[in-house]
Structure 1
Amino acid sequence: MGVINSGNTAFMIICTAMVCLMTPGLALFYGGLVRKKNVLVMMMQSFISMGIVTIIWIFGGFSLAYGTDHAGIIGSISQFFGMNSVGLAPNPSYGATIPFVMFFAYQLMFAIITAPLMTGAFADRLNLKGYILILIAWTILIYIPVCHWIWGGGFLEKLGFIDFAGGTVIHVSAGFGALASVIYLGKRVIKKGENLDPNNLVIVAIGTGLLWFGWFGFNAGGSLAADKIAAAAFVNTAIAASVGMIVWTIISVAINKKLKFVDLLTGAVAGLATITPCAGYVDPKAAVVIGIVGPIVCFISIAARRKMNLDDALDVWGVHGMGGLTGSILVGIFASVAVNTVDGGIHQMLIQILGVLIVAIYSFVVTMIILKVIDSICPIRATEKEQLRGLDNTLLGEDAYWE
């Protein structure tokens, strides 16, 4: 049994609170990007996850993700069900110097934010009942198994696949689930000549700031201790976000001949998504390269999505899905034993490619099945009338702004 270290415990409490703040940050980020008639529904989809996913996590979710492994696929549902054996003593397998309940809480915050990442893709066209049912099914059938495969002793972890803070577990699973949802739901209903620009870039900027701030806890907390690996993850996060912001802006100005504030913000998020799987495995020089390559891949992916005529409203697949995928492969190249326990090379890169492809395909296929099954039980797409009038007014009876 490990001995609790007060410094490490304090560090994890702060990191957990920072990751918790990212979900409201995501709500503001997405809420500012949509049209003003859909702001509240967009934000509510993030906030309601904080309640629903917490209940799932307590009653079986955490146990399935981190309980004793069964055939490399899933954990034991009974081991930690109802927070059984999740107490103040450390669990040597998951943070030997912090209370096990802090590991539970930290991982809960990851579970909460993952499905809401998808909401930007199908913005403006999903009804509330459909979203809630999808949130529950997606968390249980996709997030929890993938989490176990990579972090809970599952087959990908045993294979040697690495993901420091969720590039694959969170961003690839959500990004490719988003792609499936866009294909299944089709395009939004939009009035001819309607302005699709963000309704409030100030809110988007505040959301980006909260995400960026929270991302330091998101990545550095993956060390589960206030140590050199956490320090490396912190610095790498700052570097990749900043480099990503500038690279994205340069590309956008070169192509569009115009500097736009939203490009700065999007580039930072692309850099953050790409560095996430690498953060505690690479040195700062590699973080610069990752901050360059990630946004380039994301920008190209968004251009390809537009050519395919897919209505990913806030480019979740292009930024999060492809950013996470790119970082998950790059960590196989740039990982260094000088930082952590894994060295990059052809063997590790091939493991990374295999693992990320398995998760991407699994998330895409199972998301498509979830959508079809739920839609066959109750329609999940908002009606044309609801979309034209606005989801806030028709589904909530509320408005974000006074006229």
Structure 2
Amino acid sequence: MDQGNTAFILICAALVLLMTPGLAFFYGGLVKAKSVISMMMLSFGAMGLIGVLWVVYGYAIAFPGSDGLIPPWSIDWSAIGLKGLLEVPDGAAYPPLAFVAFQATFAIITVALVSGAIADRAKFGSWMIFAAIWATIVYFPVASWVFNFGLAEDGSFAYGGWITYGMQEWFGVGAIDFAGGTAVHINAGAAALALALVLGKRLGFQKGVHVPHNPPFVLLGAGLLWFGWFGFNAGSELAADGTAALAFVNTIAAPAAALLAWMVVEKIKDGKPTSVGAASGAVAGLVAITPACASLDPIWAIVLGLIAGAVCALAIELKYKWGFDDSLDVVGIHLVGGLIGTLYLGFFATATGLFWTGDATQLLVQAIAAVSVLVYSFVLAYVIGFAIEKTIGFRVKNEDEVAGIDTVVHGEEGYVLEGTRA
């Protein structure tokens, strides 16, 4: 067993877990002051719920030890409760539980990302029910499509998820998704769009009405996300080697460029670059580089960041034109950014992209992967959300939304100054 790589994977898992509290700060700063606790609790609720489900059966679905597509046919029953993974096989590079821990943090952050679309108006209990069902029938299977793989004795791939390895047999090249552009960001963004449509618009929804109550929280959250993202991207190599180093550098370059591009767009459109825009631009660049971080030279990562920052800065305006209330721009940043990063590889992936080879096969498989995950996640998220809304209700009462839902849902307030309840 390689203790260095084992330590690397465990450290990266801790970094990715930190991203969820970082997301809580990022999202918490964007809502109004009387909804900040409710917003942050959606992320912390996901940490508790998905952490437990992953250990009980999530890993067994996501990594079934076969090519299976959708449960129950692809569940590794020996991995239920992780009892079958306690021993370290002879010759293993790292303990199986190190990989289990690393992938658990991916599941947690993906579910938490969805919550940004329903800020200021969602019931906590209904969210937890949605999160449990969506994780079980959407995230865990999609993670298997992308991340599941097994090796034969000669080191070749014996089986794998259909997105990354199955299409390699069909088209001669598999879709590239190094750290989760499809499984995490397109997946979460599509579900966020579905929930935004199910819950409907916030009261008084229009441009300029709902403003962030705490931009310093947003900047802090973005910083924690960026810090944790090094574990997200570099850690996906599962070894401290040159590929991990390339992913690490690209995780600096792309979001840095996206941050600048977003601020330039803001300056041109609105006359002023904002702190929230800078934070959002960095996150857009992080999203876009996620699938591509090990398949681009750093210069091309900068180009990707510039494109993602500019396009996502414009994409967040779509909710006003098309009339859906994606509260915290999960669609504009994660869905659009994930699509940009995934499709960009079809053009510029080292050695296989259209720009380098003149062959559009890589672009084709990237598009198939992106559309498949988008449609699967959107349809099932809409069905789950609609069923919850029509039974126990997903949205709080209008009067509670106006007053702010922290006290109604959690019996707490985010800010109490000098003994006066805010």
State whether TM-score is above 0.5: yes
Instruction: Summarize the Cα distance change of 1:88–1:232 in structure 2 as closer, same or farther, 3 Å threshold.
Output: farther
Q: How does 1:272-351 map to 2 (within 5 A)?
A: 272-337=286-351, 345-351=359-365
Output the CA distance in 1 between the equivalents of 2:119 and 2:77. Answer: 37
* Residue-by-residue CA offset, 1:29-73 (whole Å, 9 max, x unaligned): 100110000000100110111111111111111011001235433
- Check the 8 A contact 1:335/1:344 in 2, yes or no: no
CA drift of 1:235 comes to: 0.2
* Residue-by-residue CA offset, 1:203-262 (whole Å, 9 max, x unaligned): 111111100100011100010000001000000010001000001100110111112111
Instruction: Summarize the Cα distance change of 1:194–1:38 in structure 2 as closer, same or farther, 3 Å threshold.
Output: farther
5+ unaligned residues in a row in structure 1: which ranges? none
CA drift of 1:296 comes to: 2.4
Aligned residue in 2 for 1:56: 53
* Residue-by-residue CA offset, 1:260-315 (whole Å, 9 max, x unaligned): 11111111000000000001121112101111111222123222222112211111
- Check the 8 A contact 2:191/2:378 in 1, yes or no: yes
- TM-score (norm: length of structure 2): 0.89
Instruction: Summarize the Cα distance change of 1:88–1:18 in structure 2 as closer, same or farther, 3 Å threshold.
Output: farther
Q: How does 1:131-150 map to 2 (within 5 A)?
A: 131-150=127-146
Amino acid at match of 1:108: A
* Residue-by-residue CA offset, 1:2-23 (whole Å, 9 max, x unaligned): xx11111111111111001000
CA drift of 1:191 comes to: 9.3
Aligned pair 1:268/2:265, yes or no?
A: no
Which of the numbers 155, 163, 166 marks the counterpart of 1:156?
163
Which of the numbers 79, 96, 99 marks the counterpart of 1:103?
99
Instruction: Summarize the Cα distance change of 1:38–1:345 in structure 2 as closer, same or farther, 3 Å threshold.
Output: farther
Look up the SS of the partner of 1:202 in the other structure.
helix
Amino acid at match of 1:127: K
Look up the SS of the partner of 1:313 in the other structure.
coil
Amino acid at match of 1:131: W
- Check the 8 A contact 2:222/2:279 in 1, yes or no: yes
CA drift of 1:186 comes to: 0.6
Output the CA distance in 1 between the equivalents of 2:314 and 2:207. Answer: 27
Output the CA distance in 2 between the equivalents of 1:64 and 1:193. Answer: 42
Aligned residue in 2 for 1:199: 213
- Check the 8 A contact 1:331/1:344 in 2, yes or no: no
Output the CA distance in 2 between the equivalents of 1:7 and 1:345. Answer: 39
* Residue-by-residue CA offset, 1:156-198 (whole Å, 9 max, x unaligned): 2211122111111000000011011111111112499995221
Aligned pair 1:84/2:83, yes or no?
A: yes
Which of the numbers 216, 232, 236 marks the counterpart of 1:218?
232
Aligned pair 1:35/2:32, yes or no?
A: yes
Which of the numbers 10, 14, 24 marks the counterpart of 1:13?
10
5+ unaligned residues in a row in structure 2: which ranges? 149-159, 168-173, 417-421
Aligned pair 1:125/2:125, yes or no?
A: no
Identity over aligned pairs, percent: 40
Instruction: Summarize the Cα distance change of 1:345–1:79 in structure 2 as closer, same or farther, 3 Å threshold.
Output: farther
Look up the SS of the partner of 2:163 in the other structure.
helix
Aligned residue in 2 for 1:368: 382
Aligned residue in 1 for 2:267: 253
Amino acid at match of 1:57: W
Instruction: Summarize the Cα distance change of 1:90–1:324 in structure 2 as closer, same or farther, 3 Å threshold.
Output: farther
Aligned pair 1:178/2:192, yes or no?
A: yes
Aligned residue in 1 for 2:170: none
Give the alignment's Cα RMSD to 1 decimal: 2.0
CA drift of 1:332 comes to: 2.4
CA drift of 1:337 comes to: 4.9
- Check the 8 A contact 1:329/1:352 in 2, yes or no: yes
Amino acid at match of 2:113: L
Instruction: Summarize the Cα distance change of 1:25–1:222 in structure 2 as closer, same or farther, 3 Å threshold.
Output: same
- Check the 8 A contact 1:16/1:109 in 2, yes or no: yes
* Residue-by-residue CA offset, 1:356-386 (whole Å, 9 max, x unaligned): 0010011111100111222233111111111
Output the CA distance in 2 between the equivalents of 1:122 and 1:63. Answer: 30
